[in-house]
Each structure stands twice: as C-alpha cells, then as structure tokens.
Chain A
C-alpha cells in the first residue's frame, strides 16, 4: 500500500471505534444482566449513537457479551459461538456470574467461571451491573478492540 498504509490503518481504527457490533450470549443467566444490557439500547442510554448495534448472528459481531455462570448445557454452544466470531474480537463478561460463578459457585451444574471456557478480556462486575456500568465496560471493550491489530 506504500504511502497510503498509515492512512488506511488509521481509517480502520476509526471505523472499529465507531462501529462495534455486540453479540449477546446468555450462559444460564437469571435474566437480570440481560435486561440491563438491553436497557443500554433504550432512549436513556442509547448506545446506538456510538455506532453500537446488537446483532443476531455471532458472525457479524465484534464484541461477545456473556451473562450467566456458564451452565453445563451452554458450555459447548458458547465455545462454538466464540470460535465463529471473526477477528478482531473482544469477550466481555457481564455481571458476577461469569466472573466467579456468584451464588452458583460450586454447583455441579456449572462449568464456569467463563475464563475456563474462553479467554475473557473485560469484566463488568455487579449483580446485575447498572446500565451505566455496562456502557462504560463496552466503551473500554471498544478501546481493546481497536488495540487489536489483527486482520487489517
């Protein structure tokens, strides 16, 4: 690319910063964190103004948002979905469950915490975290995404 290369790289960084698409995976969550994640799309928080979109297919996504303690039945699906997200990608653990197992820790039905199944880049603590915390976490995840230099 020659002279144009730094320009193109800067453009790609900018595009990644302004267009992060999320895929939301519920790994056995109680629905508390899921509601708080969806609340970020409502008029009060409106993350769409940052170019963020909740996508239906993992293949379209940049950021994988996982809620729940990763039950035995969701483990395999979680690993498959993580593998299907094209690089660069970032994994965000939303709430206490994917971080530690929370009240489910030690249960024989739990295969978590999340970092035993897929590498986690960012934890958003709380049970559930407030939408403001989720927005802040996603903003930090976007910076991590931009810092990944794969696949330019």
Chain B
C-alpha cells in the first residue's frame, strides 16, 4: 500500500469523506427503522448531522477536570478512522494489517471504559464496568471468528482473509461476527453499557457539548467500520457492493433492537458465551480441519 493510497483510504474512501456522513446516515436510519416498527415516523435521515452540529455549538459548563476527558474521545475518533482506513476495499494492504485493525477497532470501547472511570461519576463508573465486562465477553467470539478466517486463508492480511476463506468457515464466522455487532454498537438487547435512563447515559454521562459530539462521531464511525467489516467479509471487493451490504446491516440491527428489550448483563454475557462462541468455535474447527486437510 503506497502512502498516497493510504492517505486516500484515510481521508476519502472508506475514510473521513465517506465514513462521517455514512455514520450519521446509519445511526439515523437505525432510529428510523425502530420508529417505523413501533408505528412512528421517526427522525429524518439528516438527524445525525444536526445532532453533531448542535452539540459542537454548545458551551460546556466550565469545571475543573482532567485533560484526559478531551483526549479520550479524540483518541476514539482517531483510532476508529485508522481501523476504517485498513478495511480491504482497496486491494492491497500489508502483511499483518488484521492485527493492527483489531487493535485500532478495540481502542474506542477501551477509551469509553476509561472515560467512564475518569469522569468519576457513579453512573459513568457503572457504565464503564458493564462496558468492560461485555467487552471481554464479546471479544472472545469476535477474535476467534477473525482467527478462524485468518487460519483458513493462511494470511494475516485483511484483503486475503476476506477473499481467501471457504464458505464453510466464512458462514459460521460471519454469524459470530453478526452476533457481536449489536453488542459492539450498544444496541438493544445488548444496550447494557449505555443503558439510557437506567444509568443515565453510562460512561458518557459527564460529557457535554463538543466532547459529546466527538463521542457521537466515534460511535457513527464504529457503525461504518463494523458494518464495513461484515460487508467486506461477505462480498470481498470494493465499491457499490461494499456500500450496499454495509447499509443492509442497518435494518437487520434496527429490527433486532426494536423487537427486543434490554437484557441483564449476566444474560447478555451468557448469550455471547454460548451462541456467539458456538458459532465462532464452529468456524475455528472448520478452519483447522481444512488447514490439516481433513475436509
């Protein structure tokens, strides 16, 4: 991957120019899907953009607080953008970019956990603990599925991982990843960590104005990168198919969110440790069997 291409990937597609409006669109359309299923009209598709501008134009209440609270949302946005740039929509990439991708992708939830603790609010801390517990539960099947794909394709390069694995591995791996998606996006029934109203706003309770806008932006980017990961694994390639499959993930998650109520944290963890882990384990076994020539 040449520096120009990397810069294009970071700033144009699938980076800033594509991902920021796409993140707003995805968040708004998820709310729209939920609203339609509840017999409501729901917010306009431009809602994410207006929310962002309004939050940027608010004046935070001045108070003594660590610089960390500004740094963490910035880091979350930056890391998620980095993960986006590594998505294999441009053929290429470099050896081992899967590892960097996972590392960058996981930085935003980690920042949210830290933000919850650093804000020193009771609700923030409860939210951070929940985020951390769910983070551990969700990452076991998530990473196992990615490892299975890497094993089956014999590569740690996202572009080859996406195209290289046979469907016997890719099917269960995608199922496991799809199970992980609502958890990572904090949607019903896994909205345990942000748990709006129940614990105020979870780790983000103490964030206001521009800093909250950054968190919302990071969240929108997480939507794009996770939907994009599923899309690039389901239909390797670039361009229209990538965008369309990314968008197709939204009504799926919206329907699930509208059809379910929030689980308790132990129920959510149990679901992940049984069903998501089962799908991930199936993909790992299939990958190992193929690698050793038994299938």
Which residues does A use to contact B, with CB under 8 Å? 11-12, 14-16, 18-19, 42-43, 46, 48-49, 51, 54-57, 59-60, 62, 83-88, 150-152
A19 touches B61 (CB 8 A): no
If A49-B44, A60-B208 touch, whether A88 touches B50 (CB-CB below 8 Å) is no
If A59-B212, A86-B61, A152-B57 touch, whether A46 touches B51 (CB-CB below 8 Å) is no
Q: Which of B44, B199, B208 contacts A51 (CB 8 A)?
A: B44
Q: Which of B42, B50, B54, B204 contacts A57 (CB 8 A)?
A: B204
In angstroms, how far is the closest chain A Cβ from the Cβ of B149? 38
B200 touches A57 (CB 8 A): yes
In the complex, what residue of chain B is closest to A151 when comparing beta carbons? B59
- Grouping DSSP codes into helix (H, G, I), strand (E, B) and loop, the B interface class, with mixed when no group exceeds half, is loop
| With A48-B31, A48-B40 already in contact, 4 other A-B pairs whose C-beta atoms are closer than 8 Å | A48-B35, A59-B212, A85-B61, A87-B59
13 contacts between A and B (CB under 8 A): A15-B53, A18-B44, A19-B47, A46-B40, A49-B43, A51-B44, A55-B201, A59-B61, A59-B208, A83-B61, A85-B61, A150-B59, A152-B57
B39 touches A43 (CB 8 A): yes
B206 touches A57 (CB 8 A): yes
B207 at the interface (CB under 8 A from A): yes
In the complex, what residue of chain A is closest to B48 when comparing beta carbons? A19
- With a cutoff of 8 Å between Cβ atoms, the chain A residues found around residue B52 in the complex are 15
In angstroms, how far is the closest chain B Cβ from the Cβ of A40? 11
A86 touches B40 (CB 8 A): no
- With a cutoff of 8 Å between Cβ atoms, the chain B residues found around residue A88 in the complex are 58-59
In angstroms, how far is the closest chain A Cβ from the Cβ of B57? 4
In the complex, what residue of chain A is closest to B60 when comparing beta carbons? A86
- With a cutoff of 8 Å between Cβ atoms, the chain A residues found around residue B208 in the complex are 59-60, 84, 86
In the complex, what residue of chain B is closest to A11 when comparing beta carbons? B53
User: Range of interface residues on chain B?
Assistant: 35 or more
Q: How many contacts A-B (CB < 8 Å)? A: 98
Q: Which of A48, A51, A86 contacts B58 (CB 8 A)?
A: A86
B42 touches A49 (CB 8 A): yes
- With a cutoff of 8 Å between Cβ atoms, the chain B residues found around residue A15 in the complex are 49-54, 57
B41 touches A51 (CB 8 A): no
In angstroms, how far is the closest chain B Cβ from the Cβ of A105? 31
CA distance A146 to B268 in the complex (A): 41
CA distance A130 to B57 in the complex (A): 32
In the complex, what residue of chain B is closest to A49 when comparing beta carbons? B41
A57 touches B201 (CB 8 A): yes
If A16-B54, A57-B200 touch, whether A51 touches B43 (CB-CB below 8 Å) is yes
- With a cutoff of 8 Å between Cβ atoms, the chain B residues found around residue A19 in the complex are 47, 50-51, 53-54
Interface residues of B in 16-71 (CB under 8 A from A): 31, 35, 38-44, 46-47, 49-54, 57-61
Central interface residue in B40, B52, B201, B209, by most chain A CB within 10 Å:
B40
* B194-234 near A? 1/0 per residue, CB < 8 Å: 00111111001111110010000000000000000000000
B196 touches A56 (CB 8 A): yes
Shortest 7 CB-CB distances between A and B: which pairs?
A: A151-B59, A15-B53, A59-B208, A56-B200, A43-B39, A15-B54, A46-B40
- With a cutoff of 8 Å between Cβ atoms, the chain A residues found around residue B197 in the complex are 54, 56
